[in-house]
């Protein structure tokens, strides 16, 4: 199957690589030449613009960092609509809002182009292994056409209803996951500054009512201090993207009349960390920001000792 793929960032690139390795001909496009060259070396074909990618295939997937990028890829100069044929299918894997994806879908439908919104969830290892969760919204027939690729990139694939429902699920998931991650870091710092070693605190919390996957993962991440992307690479889950995702989730809550007080606080903290210069680091670098504010340093057993 010939497939178009637009967007080769921290999420898009490993997904596209798995589709290439599954034996499909994949036409790839990104603003940066490096990830395109890396996938071409694995067997992909380089596309020049979204319009060029759409002209070469009738099934295109896009993984993009935000609303502006998604609008530009679909409708900007040399955008997808300039090359797509009537009847083709466009799958938006980005985290947006229900309103935005419904707007994109409606404008594409006016041009005879079908649309599915299908944001994904999962960390770096799950992306590499093709074990993401895929949350899709769109017509049943369009979902069925897109699903063979979903099954390559995802371990858990859900069809939730009409266009927009995929992003409703993703915003709810992000609100829960990111607010839980932040409160886990706050609890860790509270315990450490109060005099408990982080690894001892983890053992206590995981045997108590505060124990969760989020807490265990955040302790691991903070102790590893691995929030700097590899040289020449970009963050797999950049803090600025997390701040954006929480802003989208809390704004959607306000729009439909659902209070999100806990997530509002988490959003504000991530935004402050982004504004303080942590935006391009992995999102758990928010712990470094909070450590600086609290005047406490979290270290693993023996770290920094001669």
159-198 per-position pLDDT tens digit: 999 999 999 999 999 999 999 999 999 999 999 999 999 9
Asked whether the predicted pLDDT for residue 124 surpasses 90, the reply is: no
Average pLDDT over residues 63-72: 95
pLDDT attached to residue 231: 62
pLDDT attached to residue 302: 61
Nearest-angstrom CA–CA distance, 77 and 214: 42
Asked whether the predicted pLDDT for residue 51 surpasses 90, the reply is: yes
Average pLDDT over residues 241-256: 96
Average pLDDT over residues 220-231: 85
Share of the chain above pLDDT 70, in %: 97
226-237 confidence digits (pLDDT tens) = 898 866 677 788
What confidence tier does 306 reach under pLDDT thresholds 50, 70, 90? Answer: very low
Dihedral of the alpha carbons of 222, 223, 229, 231, in degrees to the nearest 10: 160
pLDDT attached to residue 246: 96
Whether residue 121 contacts residue 170, with contact meaning beta carbons closer than 8 Å, is answered with yes
Identify the CATH number of the domain defined by range 2-162: 3.40.50.720
What confidence tier does 121 reach under pLDDT thresholds 50, 70, 90? Answer: very high
pLDDT attached to residue 1: 80
Average pLDDT over residues 125-144: 96
Domain 168-294 CATH assignment equals 2.60.120.380 = no
pLDDT attached to residue 166: 98
83-101 confidence digits (pLDDT tens) = 999 999 999 999 999 999 9
Domain positions in the chain are 2-162, 168-294
Asked whether the predicted pLDDT for residue 305 surpasses 70, the reply is: no
Catalytic residues: 170
Average pLDDT over residues 65-92: 97
Neighbours of 305 (CB within 10 A): 6
Asked whether the predicted pLDDT for residue 216 surpasses 60, the reply is: yes
């Amino acid at each position: 199957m010939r497939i178009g793929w637009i967007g080769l960032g921290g999420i898009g690139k490993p997904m596209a690589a798995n589709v290439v390795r599954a034996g499909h001909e994949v036409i790839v496009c990104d603003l940066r030449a490096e990830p395109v060259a890396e996938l071409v070396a694995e067997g992909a074909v380089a596309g020049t613009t979204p319009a060029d990618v759409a002209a070469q295939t009738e099934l295109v997937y896009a993984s993009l960092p935000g609303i502006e990028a998604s609008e530009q890829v679909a409708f900007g100069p040399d955008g997808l609509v300039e090359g797509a044929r009537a009847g083709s299918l466009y799958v938006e894997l980005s985290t947006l809002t229900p309103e935005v994806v419904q707007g994109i879908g409606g404008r594409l439908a006016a041009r005879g182009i079908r649309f599915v919104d299908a944001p994904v969830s999962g960390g770096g290892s799950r992306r590499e292994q093709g074990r993401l969760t895929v949350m899709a919204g769109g017509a049943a027939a369009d979902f069925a056409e897109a699903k063979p690729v979903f099954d390559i990139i995802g371990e858990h694939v859900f069809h939730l209803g009409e266009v927009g429902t995929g992003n409703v699920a993703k915003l709810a998931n992000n609100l829960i996951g990111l607010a839980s991650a932040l409160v886990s870091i706050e609890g860790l710092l509270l315990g450490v500054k109060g005099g408990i070693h982080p690894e001892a605190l983890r053992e206590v919390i995981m045997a108590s009512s505060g124990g969760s996957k989020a807490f265990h993962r955040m302790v691991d991440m903070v102790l590893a201090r691995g929030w700097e992307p590899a040289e020449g690479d970009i963050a797999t889950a950049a803090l600025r993207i997390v701040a954006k995702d929480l802003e989208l989730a809390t704004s959607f809550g306000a729009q439909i009349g659902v209070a999100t007080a806990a997530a509002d606080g988490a959003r504000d903290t991530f935004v402050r960390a982004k504004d303080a210069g942590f935006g391009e680091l992995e999102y758990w670098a928010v712990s470094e920001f909070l450590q600086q504010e609290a005047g406490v340093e979290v270290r693993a057993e023996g770290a920094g000792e001669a």
